[in-house]
Amino acid sequence: MLTATHLQRYADVLIWGLKTARGKRFAKGDIVLVRYDMAALPLAETVYAKLLELGLQPVQRVAQSPKMEHDFYALSNARQLVFRTPGEEELFASLNGSISLRAPDSITHLSDVRPEKIGRATVARKYINDILDRREAEGEFGWTLCVYPTPELAGHAGLTPEAYAAQIIRACFLKKADPVASWRTIYREAQDIKRWLNGMKVSRYHIESERTELTITPGLKRKWVGISGHNIPSFELFLSPDWRGTEGLYYADQPTYRSGNYVKGVSLQFKAGSVVKANAEHGEDFLRKQIAMDRGAGKLGEFSLTDKRFSRITTFMANTLYDENYGGKNGNCHVALGASYSDTYDGAASDLTPEKKKDLGFNDSALHWDLVNTEKKRVIAQLAGGKRITIYEDGMFVC
């Protein structure tokens, strides 16, 4: 579904994303993990060769097949579920970069697995995220990821494989002879919006749509970030709010697949920063068990807005990377339950100790689950002096 030319261009964009996302320039000999599903092998081979040409040290890892992943959860005993592979901690503590190529042959194979087992395994592997978060804060690690089209994804999105691939080609500018130039342009334009947003002293944001009435407190020492190379494609700007100031109702009209479970029509009621009521039109039991995963799973780790002028994504893609960057008619707003992002700290990320994160209201969790609202909406910023200004309306930032 992707030609040899598309693969070369896709690999170029991913390497641009990796370099852009890292705080320091890569040096020859730096270690980059290339993690991929088997269906993405053609792209993995292309990326691998380009990393070698740059003098980097690529380390390749193939993801579990759907059957292997299902058997892990179905057959693992308590010790196997939380097992740490020898040498894994050493590898991740040495990584300078990571490129993940997601091409699932199944997105529903875990639907009969008890969410509690998935939750325990996720919590047990949180130490890897902690290592990489620390290295990223030090400027030693950068990462990016993408999606490779598969019939499985296309089927769940209600598209033909060709139409699904066409969305990826369009969203990543792979029809252009120099797609990296297009990404650089969007990167520069986003910088202007971020400067505008970060120039305001905001006490709270208010999100209004047909079924959402939510107040979010940005908190101290926060900044808007995004379109930084981390995800390909990525058109969102976001911050990690002070979870303690979240109040009101949030509704996610866009469906989501998570750990093999289909969830739709999520409604979350927040009080004093925590989810006090969670409902879903489909997948409600799974939703509630995810929120119970750990102490931070029922609190906000991210608030995000996507400008439809940037995003080329116009349909549901059954994949969070694309769905959280949906442009369409109204752009999108999404929030994430669970872990916050340290790069939204307005200061030296290396100074953001666990104690300081807690004091500032950065949420900590093994969960990070993006839930997307595509309704027509308005976002109002209440400034520290009391003035209220609209920052986002009709799917666009209004700077």
pTM of the complete model: 0.91
* Per-residue model confidence as pLDDT tens digits over 198-211: 999 999 999 999 99
Q: What is the pairing mode between strands 300-306 and 332-338?
A: antiparallel
pLDDT at site 23: 76
SS3 category, 225? strand
> Which fold does the domain 4-182 belong to in CATH?
Thermophilic metalloprotease-like (3.40.1830)
Mean pLDDT computed over every residue of the chain: 96
pLDDT recorded at residue 352: 86
137 has pLDDT over 90: no
pLDDT tens across 339-373, in order?
A: 999 889 999 877 888 999 999 999 999 999 999 99
**Tokens 């208010």 -> residue:** 206
Of the candidates 22, 10, 259, the residue with the CA atom closest to the CA atom of residue 146: 10
- CA–CA dist 236, 304 (Å, integer): 6
pLDDT score at 96: 98
Confidence of residue 220 (pLDDT cuts 50, 70, 90): very high
Predicted pLDDT at 382: 97
Q: Are 162 and 153 in contact (CB under 8 A)?
A: no
Contact 325, 235 (CB under 8 A): yes
Every domain of the chain with CATH number 3.40.1830.10 lies at 4-182
**What does the alpha-carbon distance between residue 113 and residue 42 come to, in Å, rounded to a whole number?**
31
CA distances to 17, 47, 52, 169 from 10, in Å: 10, 9, 16, 9
Residues 58-116 pLDDT 10s:
999 999 999 999 999 999 999 999 999 999 999 999 999 999 999 999 999 999 999 89
Residues 327-346 have pLDDT tens digits of 999 999 999 999 999 889 99
The pLDDT of residue 121 is 95
Assess contact for 338 and 363: CB atoms under 8 A. Answer: yes
The Cα-based distances of 379 to 54, 108, 136 in angstroms read: 43, 35, 31
pLDDT of residue 109: 95
Could you tell me what percent of the chain has a pLDDT over 90? 94
What's residue 258's pLDDT? 93
